[in-house]
Amino acid sequence: MGGSEEDPTMAAARLSPFRYNSPLAQVVLIGLVCFCCPGMFNALSGMGGGGQVDHTAANNANTALYTTFAVFGILGGGIFNLLGPRLTLLAGCSTYVLYAGSFLYYNHYHHQLFAIVAGAVLGVGAGLLWAAEGAIMTSYPPPGRKGTYISLFWAIFNMGGVIGGLIPFILNYHRTDAPSVNDATYIAFMCFMATGTLLSLAILPPSRVVRDDGTRATAVTYSSIRTESVEILKLFADWRMLLIVPAAWASNFFYSYQFNNVNGILFNLRTKGLNNVFYWGAQMIGSVAIGYVLDFSFKSRRTRGYVGIAVVAVLGTAIWAGGLANQLRYLNGEWPNTLDFKDSGAKYAGPFVLYFSYGLLDAMFQSLCYWVIGALADDPETLSRFSGFYKGVQSAGAAVAWQVDTRKTPLLTQLIVNWSLTTLSYPLLAVLVMLAVRDEGEEDGEKRSSKPSAAEPVTADKL
């Protein structure tokens, strides 16, 4: 009678990580969605001024974007818990196409209003997308491999910036003296963003994701508006979230300085695109490197957290010091002879290495923040709220940063503020790891979440 039944443990052991409903496949899919949407947005922003010689329209559009993003980043976790991943991602991704289209319009008519409105709409969409992404990336993987999955996601996502950087580089290669990129550049971005919107429909809800040991990622019961409203308000009094506020605020604050005042000022049009290829390529390297440290460097998860923070702190201090040395060369914000990767020779090397290093640090810093958030809980309901809070604060900081640049704040002041914010973050993250991160055997929440949603283990015939 029992001979016809298969041992559930043996069945679970044969589960392939390459299944459509595996955490690996789903993290790859969300990586591809972000490759096409925010990855291309990053490439567009990374050119400085959205590819326009006058940065005013892009700065105002980004201010509107990050203002609404700050609100919907915080609300996004609750919306994710109400709608689930597919509807949340579909709504979020569709707004990226509109934003790229607004700069295509601006390229002809130079009217800011459309770009500003599109930026505000994109802020709503980005809040939804990143809340869903944060919940998926931090809750679908096994607890002991979150750093690896975060680095995998970050590598795929930032490949979007690499490909997106190649687009303006190739399409504007012979337009070295042109003031702005051509229409084909914006159209190419829009095509990628539309593809990402369609890919979002392939994401599975958490209850259908099965880990390699046969357990489901979670047993999700979608929430109510009242519950989510209460839980979101509680975040503002949660000491764990308060400790992560400086890191969240800092993590996008430096983009306006790096994009507009390093890449946007020092280099000519085609070289800006090439630099972005390496900026986002550096992010892939940085995310893989810090992911290894956070998952494999030591047996204790808390120790890995301390080591990760120390590595990022030392590297960050060195990179910002290099940025200071470079910034002292153009305190007035003017660089008379823009650098070209072919014609400028050795003069190009130093600023290029600095910009590359900024990308490396960005990925390591943000991957570290996501790892810490992911170590605070294991269920997507909680992590979607934590991730949404992180993105909301991050976006509030970015909204301020873009206006800081619009108001012509001295570049040296911008650099010092950026360096100070990231430096303040490191000891607070260390305190958070010390007080809130537990090793796997100590984490009650993880013990509970390691059980499947059904009473028995998931076997192959239930996939």
All domains in the chain, ordered by first residue: 23-462 (1.20.1250.20)
Give the chain's length.
463
Predicted confidence (pLDDT) at residue 218 exceeds the cutoff of 80: no
Structure confidence at residue 14 (pLDDT) = 54
Hey, what are 304's tokens?
A: 């890995």
Are the C-beta atoms of residues 423 and 316 closer than 8 Å to each other?
Answer: yes
DSSP strand E in 208-338: where?
none
Predicted confidence (pLDDT) at residue 457 exceeds the cutoff of 50: no
pLDDT tier at 329 (50, 70, 90 boundaries)? very high
Structure confidence at residue 10 (pLDDT) = 39
Query: What is the pTM for the complete model shown?
Result: 0.77
What are the backbone angles phi and psi of residue 210, rounded to the nearest 5°? -115, 125
Structure confidence at residue 311 (pLDDT) = 97
Average pLDDT over the chain reads: 84
Structure confidence at residue 427 (pLDDT) = 97
pLDDT tier at 262 (50, 70, 90 boundaries)? very high
Name the residue with tokens 């100070």: 420
Predicted confidence (pLDDT) at residue 461 exceeds the cutoff of 80: no
Are the C-beta atoms of residues 242 and 53 closer than 8 Å to each other?
Answer: no
Give tens-digit pLDDT for 60-107: 888 899 899 888 988 887 888 888 889 999 999 999 999 999 988 888
Nearest residue to 255 via CA among 448, 405, 69, 440: 405
Give tens-digit pLDDT for 384-423: 788 888 988 998 998 899 889 888 899 999 999 999 999 9
Q: Is the model more confident about 194 or about 449? A: 194
Hey, what are 185's tokens?
A: 């550049």
Between CA 175 and CA 269 the distance in angstroms is 7
Structure confidence at residue 410 (pLDDT) = 94
pLDDT tier at 442 (50, 70, 90 boundaries)? low
Between CA 291 and CA 284 the distance in angstroms is 11
